[in-house]
Structure 1
Amino acid sequence: MSERWKKQAFSIADMRRLAKRALPRPVFDFADGAAEDEVTLARNEAAFGDWSFVPRPLDGPATRDLSVELFGQRLALPVMIGPTGLSGLFAVDGERAAARAAAAAGTAFCLSHASVCTIEQLAETGIAPRWMQIFVYRERAFTQWFVERAAASDYDALVLTVDNQLLGNRERDLRNGFTIPPTFSLPDMVAMLGKLPWLLAMRRELPKITFANYIRPGEAADLASLSKRMAGLLDPGLSWRDVDWLRGLWTKPLILKGILSPIEARRAVEAGVDGIIVSNHGGRQLDGAISALDALPAIVEAVDGRIPVLLDGGVRRGGDVVKALCLGAACCLIGRPQLFGLAVGGEAGVAHVLDIYRREIDRTMGLLGAARIADLERGHLVKQ
């Protein structure tokens, strides 16, 4: 595959623009969109602009060390790939392509529950660290089945997402009539004339795209059957009892994703959770929720160093990562940017996205006067 796109891709915003050009509108909007008026999506990105750097250039680091230790494993940079459903819709074998790019960059990858490849197929790549996202379902035995499969496949951490028990109202998808696998109206087909590279690459994949992890032995594997069953699986009655139950099932790091309240952060520590991901699901669930970055300081204070706090949401620059680290985050997750990378260049596109973050973090730290991640502190920032 030609990589001429690299000559136009100097930032995550460039990768988004190229992805928009490459993908059919319903597919692009599936990644790019959020709930209702998309207020929280905008807040996630805008919140970073409320903080300005206070550099100390005379500290003069000639070189910078971007590595962090997380749950006993060393990551080469403080950015990892978060769980995004149906990554295989954006490039052939999307999940495994993204995982290989993450491993090559020396960072972690979290597989979505709604991946096109299975838990076991991702593990067969041998990439590490690898994390697995799960939900709590009405049928607790089904949740336990996911946990047992992740354990059997030697995943390094389990990520319980807690803010998706009722599905958000994603109006872009409704307006586009988005379905899985995608179907296209006549206007869509006309617009597809400019999307032929994606269509040609995916023509054999589209009929096979499904929620692979939900296929149980002896059950129908077609998407229509799976979609109908999945709609009733999620349990809005998710509670701390379920967290305690999962803690008893899983011996490795257990991480809660979707925490925005310091009250819940303190409760998570008491429950024996190993880490928290401050996240509002990229604005795709509760529109009007606080931005992830605005929620971060109070959660860091509530946790008081007892467990790592990670941040997910609106991270579009290496400088955003540095700001989150200054406010106490241990690492940042990216979702949409890696989907843009897949759409533009597959595995090479994701590798390029991670390299953009690496170069921007390194440059920002050098200009701030920070030689190591541990040097970053609240004093490097002022809120405008």
Structure 2
Amino acid sequence: MPPEPLLNQIPPAIAAVSDYEPFARARLDDNAWAYLHSGAADEITFHANRQAFEQQHLHNRVLVDVRGGHTRLQLFGQTFRHPVLLAPVAYQTLFHPDGELATAQAAAAMEAGMVVSTLAGRTLEEIAAHAAAPLWFQLYFQPDRAFTLELVRRAEAAGYQALVVTVDAPLAGVRNREQRAGFHLPPGVGAANLQGMRQPQTVLEDGQSVVFDGLMAHAPTWREIVELRRLTELPLLLKGIASPDDALRALEVGADGLIVSNHGGRTLDTMPATLALLPAIAAAVQERVPLLLDGGVRRGTDIVKALALGASAVLIGRPMVYGLAATGALGVAHVIRLLREELEVAMALTGCPTLADINPAVLAP
């Protein structure tokens, strides 16, 4: 069946973030849906991210005076109204004609931080021109390192306030759902920020590996992070940290923040859920830098659980796109609003008037 037209108002049937999923599915063709809703291989990690939140329970607290409570926080000198940030999702014009411009409009309306992908369907300058909320730029190192540095300089000039380097996806995971659907970028959808970049031609010799000597030939290493830290004064976050050892190494090379992430289950299948990874990383980091988390967040209670285990804030990816695909900027704003309102309810019922009051004591064994 052909995709249904975009909604121009929010249906009464949408009362929770998860309610957006079928509305998004009805408005995307099989090609776009395969890209959005796929995980790597058997999608074990993709589903584990959600299951980890469902299996963690909360304690309620009674008779606590929470008057004057709020969800404000500070990250890298920036004040945020709530701890829900929009994750860097590529090719958002695949899901809505306005793509990242609609997302930026929603972020402004809900005062939510937005992380713009290197692979955005709109240029980082165009998005910045439409933004009225904090913007961070997500960087994929490109084979052309001079072009990579040019992306950083463009982000600095456009007013982006932090740099988020994705370190866990030097090559795409084995996404069988996309393969079965024959996923491709349709005409008019592409990486607007990479226009004009020269692609290197890698010629393999006999016996060389397509993966090790081909796809990974230009992958970044810790050396590139050290060099990038030297070249920019923007706060530098590494996204895709999944082990305490890598977290400590990131601090050694000057990272200002870490994002605990398994790329939404899209790279290495059978990795643990991000919520399961978080406690050990938090114990290693010991609050020296902020920790953020993505993967599986669908409820305000999920945010409480993440913060109780050591996160400062969370990022949402697929929920944002479900709202975008269903009803554009209005849907994205509504997703953020639902999460923030649920967060406030969960904080009140766990006796936590501020984010700083959320601690492991709110978690049930």
For normalisation by structure 1, the TM-score amounts to 0.87
Residue 335 of structure 1 is aligned with which of 312, 317, 324? 317
Give the aligned partner of residue 157 of structure 2. Answer: 152
Deviations 1:286-311 (A, max 9, x none): 00111111110111111111100000
Distance in 1, matches of 2:216 and 2:152, equals 16
RMSD: 1.7
Give the aligned partner of residue 315 of structure 1. Answer: 297
Are 2:135 and 2:162, in contact at CA under 8 Å, matched by a contact in 1? yes
Establish whether residue 268 from structure 1 lines up as the match of residue 273 from structure 2.
no
Residue 287 of structure 2 is aligned with which of 285, 289, 305? 305
1:54 Cα offset (Å): 1.3
Q: Which runs of 5+ in 2 are unaligned?
A: 1-5, 200-213
Range with greater deviation from structure 2 (102-111 or 254-263):
102-111
Distance in 1, matches of 2:180 and 2:135, equals 35
Are 2:104 and 2:131, in contact at CA under 8 Å, matched by a contact in 1? no
Aligned residues: 346
Give the aligned partner of residue 162 of structure 1. Answer: 167
Give the aligned partner of residue 348 of structure 2. Answer: 366
Give the aligned partner of residue 208 of structure 1. Answer: 188
Range with greater deviation from structure 2 (232-241 or 51-60):
232-241
1:208 Cα offset (Å): 2.1
Distance in 1, matches of 2:357 and 2:217, equals 42
Establish whether residue 93 from structure 1 lines up as the match of residue 98 from structure 2.
yes
Distance in 2, matches of 1:2 and 1:142, equals 39
Deviations 1:89-115 (A, max 9, x none): 111211011112112211200111111
Distance in 2, matches of 1:69 and 1:4, equals 33
Higher helix share: 1
For normalisation by structure 2, the TM-score amounts to 0.91
Give aligned-pair identity as a percent.
42
Q: How does 1:182-193 map to 2 (within 5 A)?
A: none
Establish whether residue 280 from structure 1 lines up as the match of residue 262 from structure 2.
yes
Aligned residue type for 1:48:
F
Deviations 1:148-178 (A, max 9, x none): 1111112101110001102111111111111
Aligned residue type for 1:338:
M
Are 1:166 and 1:236, in contact at CA under 8 Å, matched by a contact in 2? no
Are 1:88 and 1:209, in contact at CA under 8 Å, matched by a contact in 2? yes
Residue 111 of structure 1 is aligned with which of 105, 110, 116? 116
1:137 Cα offset (Å): 2.5
Give the aligned partner of residue 17 of structure 1. Answer: 22
1:337 Cα offset (Å): 0.5
Aligned residue type for 1:162:
V
CA, structure 1 residues 235+60, in 2 after alignment: closer, same or farther (shift >3 Å)? farther
Give the aligned partner of residue 178 of structure 1. Answer: 183
1:63 Cα offset (Å): 5.0
Give the aligned partner of residue 250 of structure 1. Answer: 232
Are 1:277 and 1:309, in contact at CA under 8 Å, matched by a contact in 2? yes
Establish whether residue 382 from structure 1 lines up as the match of residue 344 from structure 2.
no
